[in-house]
Amino acid sequence: MKLTFLGATGTVTGSKYLITSGSQRILVDCGLFQGLKQLRLKNWAKLPIDPKSIDAVVLTHAHIDHSGYLPLLVKNGFSGKVYCSEATRDLCEILLPDSAHLQEEEAAYANKRGFSKHNPALPLYTKEDAMKALALFAPVAYEHELDLGDGLMLKLSPNGHILGSAFVRIHNQKTSILFSGDIGRPHDILMKPPVGIKHADYLVLESTYGNRLHERDDPQIKLAGIINQTVKRRGVVLIPVFAVGRAQELLYYIHLLKSAGKIPHNIPVYLNSPMAVDATEIFSHHRGEHRLTPEQVSALCRTAHMVNSVEESKRLNEMHGPMIILSASGMASGGRVVHHLKAFAPNVNNTILFAGFQAAGTRGAAMLDGVESIKIHGEYVPVRAEVEFISNLSAHADYSEILAWLVGFDAPPKKTFIVHGEPVAADAMRLHIEERLHWQVVVPDYLETVALS
């Protein structure tokens, strides 16, 4: 068995790992690179392996940095099965066509305004490509052993990050390897905790927060304070959200704060992301994976006015506060939130609130670093609004929570590979594991191949 790292090395995006065993070639995750331009250019470059040679893809979860390359893989010749949990399939049915739509929309907008260096600007893939990819999905139940052929077996186990997210275990008669995906938190308000894993010969481990600890304070307190301060200024609270996970968590927190009288009960709340609207409804179809009762899911869905049409989205930009707008994407890298930033970032009365990890090179990371302006659609928009961040709303375990999960192993893996982290975070995670657990740990390079004995 051999493992090749095709993404998520030195960055938190572009997750792709190739397992080769006998005649089988299995790709674990198939994500888009996001953030820095040199990373995004990798999406356009030829994949280091022939998509036609891949027998199957296994997804840890639905987020675009883990699934968003699939339509391009299919466009370039992949025709095998895509294995994942049922909830991941349901979410990808929302996320992949939306990703394609955004790319088609941005290409059309660039051509209309003439700000692209390419003539014409083209999308990476189309909605038709996304639909062809979805036709290949084959959901697998948690804890079910699936025969991938040539002696390879697959098992998915819940890892608590978002609906459908999973640890991926692949093994043959000699060797087993576990891919952590993005590990959830043990006390998340929505998701059940990650299940314990007892054994794996090799471990591929994420390190998004490998150098950080989440604040232990109740995030409701800071959220209420930010909302109330903005209301006093009669401003707008604009929250770039990940359509799956953070959107639902923030809606639930806002529901709790309104119910407790800690923020004004009559402040309008808008969820301006069609895919986030659909993802919120999916919570009612997968009740076994999260902590909410049917009544709480219903309350979550009623918390915001759901914005679906482009016309209604545009009207929001002409409205005045106080109001709260949740809009995708979570790193302000595309989608409707970008148009809201053009409208609301220049006003000192408003607040831009980030509630998740911001990858290097994204507008979100730039704003948190204090830039005076951000580039949107070829022009610079001043950032005069207050910029806030609530770190402990993240769906990623911090390094302490990851270490606590690792302690559950009966024996150390032969080797642990640290991926899906910025360089400083990945190396910090390596050091934490070596010093606390005394395991053998490495941080692999892009395109590195290792033999799993």
Q: Identify the pLDDT of residue 107.
A: 83
pLDDT, one tens digit per residue, over 109-128 is: 777 776 666 678 889 999 99
The 3 state secondary structure assigned to the chain is CEEEECCCCCCCCCCCEEEEECCEEEEECCCCCCCCHHHHHHHHCCCCCCHHHCCEEECCCCCHHHHCCHHHHHHCCCCCEEEECHHHHHHHHHHHHHHHHHHHHHHHHHHHHCCCCCCCCCCCCCHHHHHHHHCCEEECCCCCCEEEECCEEEEEEECCCCCCCEEEEEECCCCEEEECCCCCCCCCCCECCCCCCCCCCEEEEECCECCCCCCCCCHHHHHHHHHHHHHHCCCEEEEECCCCCHHHHHHHHHHHHHHCCCCCCCCCEEEECHHHHHHHHHHHHCHHHECCCHHHHHHHHHCCEECCCHHHHHHHCCCCCCEEEEECCCCCCCCHHHHHHHHHCCCCCCEEEECCCCCCCCHHHHHHCCCCEEEECCEEEECCCEEEECHHHCCCCEHHHHHHHHCCCCCCCCEEEEECCCHHHHHHHHHHHHHHHCCCEECCCCCCEEECC
Among 53-57, 249-253, 276-280, 313-317, name the one with the lowest average pLDDT: 276-280
Max Cα–Cα distance, the chain, nearest Å: 65
Task: Fill in the amino acid letter for 439.
Answer: W
pLDDT, one tens digit per residue, over 74-106 is: 999 999 999 999 999 999 999 999 889 888 888
pLDDT, one tens digit per residue, over 192-246 is: 999 999 999 999 999 999 999 998 888 999 999 999 999 999 999 999 988 788 8
Q: Identify the pLDDT of residue 215.
A: 87
- CATH number of the domain at 219-393, please? 3.40.50.10890
* pLDDT mean over 50-73: 97
Q: Rounded to the nearest 10 degrees, how much is the dihedral formed by the CA atoms of 39, 41, 45, 50? A: 40
pLDDT, one tens digit per residue, over 158-180 is: 999 999 999 999 999 999 999 99
Cβ proximity of 150 and 22 under 8 Å: yes
Cβ proximity of 238 and 336 under 8 Å: no
Domain borders along the chain are: 2-212+395-451, 219-393
Q: Does the pLDDT of residue 373 top 80, yes or no?
A: yes
Q: Identify the pLDDT of residue 76.
A: 97
Cβ proximity of 222 and 435 under 8 Å: no
Question: Same topology for domains 2-212+395-451 and 219-393, yes or no?
Answer: no
Q: Identify the pLDDT of residue 117.
A: 67
pTM equals 0.90
- What is the architecture of the domain spanning 2-212+395-451? 4-Layer Sandwich (3.60)
As a whole number of Å, the end-to-end CA separation of the chain is: 7
pLDDT, one tens digit per residue, over 260-271 is: 999 999 999 999
> Mean pLDDT in the chain?
93
pLDDT, one tens digit per residue, over 374-414 is: 999 889 999 999 999 998 888 899 999 999 999 999 999 99
